[in-house]
A and B are shown apart, each in its own frame.
Chain A
Amino acid sequence: ILNVEQSPQSLHVQEGDSTNFTCSFPSSNFYALHWYRWETAKSPEALFVMTLNGDEKKKGRISATLNTKEGYSYLYIKGSQPEDSATYLCAFPHDAGNKLTFGGGTRVLVKP
């Protein structure tokens, strides 16, 4: 059983502030790490697929880093806006793109 953990479980952020949160995963047999953003009443939306140690990806004000040797990834939100409020999920594939083990998610609430 793979252990994928996210912390914190929830986060309240003031509009305009930056924030970050963590996903930890097994450091052996690494294929990739997926980040998803899940807004209430919508489908999870793929943010990033990270594959290389030291990888850093960016999409607008959201970015992510990856450390495969120590088994963690950070997701950063710069200058948080109310529309960033969502649950952010990381997922670890067991092999090349198949079965995903998800973390429990970090629920972000950005207050105006």
Chain B
Amino acid sequence: DAGVTQSPTHLIKTRGQQVTLRCSPKSGHDTVSWYQQALGQGPQFIFQYYEEEERQRGNFPDRFSGHQFPNYSSELNVNALLLGDSALYLCVRRTVTYEQYFGPGTRLTVT
């Protein structure tokens, strides 16, 4: 049990719309990172949150934003969706002992 849940499992949106994806790590005080995995590629780092602050960010435009709540859950928001945003979005929790656990992912399809 990776101890990370994500919702929803699947989502279909239209180009130009906005989407919010959610991640809940089982235990607290963990770093939460978001990755985008496009078909045929390895996951790409979007950003990382710890203690409700964005700590690191990958090469993603400002349309991608996030939030971490006091209960350590996290949201990924994407504005003005493009067809190229269609991907699997993975949430990863990193423990204080540097183990990394993946959630099951949210499959986003933009039409």
Name A residues whose Cβ lies closer than 8 Å to a Cβ of B. 4, 6, 32, 34, 36, 42-46, 49, 89, 91, 96-105
Tell me whether A104 and B41 are in contact (CB under 8 A). yes
Is the CB–CB distance between A99 and B40 below 8 Å? no
Task: Decide: B48 and A98 in contact? CB cutoff 8 A.
Answer: yes
**B104 and A99 contact, CB distance less than 8 A:** no
Interface set of B (CB-CB < 8 Å, partner A): 2, 4, 31, 33, 35, 40-45, 48, 55-56, 58, 90, 92, 94, 98-105
The answer to whether B105 touches A102 (Cβ under 8 A) is: no
Residues of A within 8 A of B2 (CB): 43, 45
Nearest Cβ on chain B to A57's Cβ, whole angstroms: 14
Q: What DSSP secondary structure best describes chain B's contact surface? A: strand
State A89–B44 Cα separation when bound (angstroms). 12
Q: A111 to B90, alpha carbons, bound, how many Å?
A: 29
Q: Can you give 18 A-B contacts (C-beta < 8 A)?
A: A4-B42, A32-B98, A34-B100, A42-B104, A43-B103, A46-B100, A49-B99, A89-B42, A89-B43, A91-B42, A97-B100, A98-B31, A98-B33, A98-B94, A99-B33, A100-B35, A100-B45, A102-B42
Q: A43-B2, A96-B98, A101-B45 are in contact. List 14 more A-B contacts (CB 8 A).
A: A43-B90, A43-B103, A44-B102, A45-B2, A45-B102, A89-B42, A98-B55, A98-B94, A99-B48, A100-B45, A100-B92, A100-B100, A102-B35, A104-B40
Chain B residues near A49 (CB-CB < 8 A) = 98-99
Bound-state Cα–Cα, A89 to B104, Å:
15
Using CB atoms, name the residue of chain B closest to A89: B42
* Cα A43 to Cα B88 with chains together (Å): 11
Assembled-state Cα–Cα distance A47/B10 (Å): 27
Cα A4 to Cα B44 in complex, Å, equals 12
Of B42, B43, B103, chain A has the most CB atoms within 10 Å of the CB of B42
Check B99 against A46 for contact (C-beta < 8 Å): yes
Contact, CB under 8 Å: A97 / B98? yes
Residues of B within 8 A of A34 (CB): 100
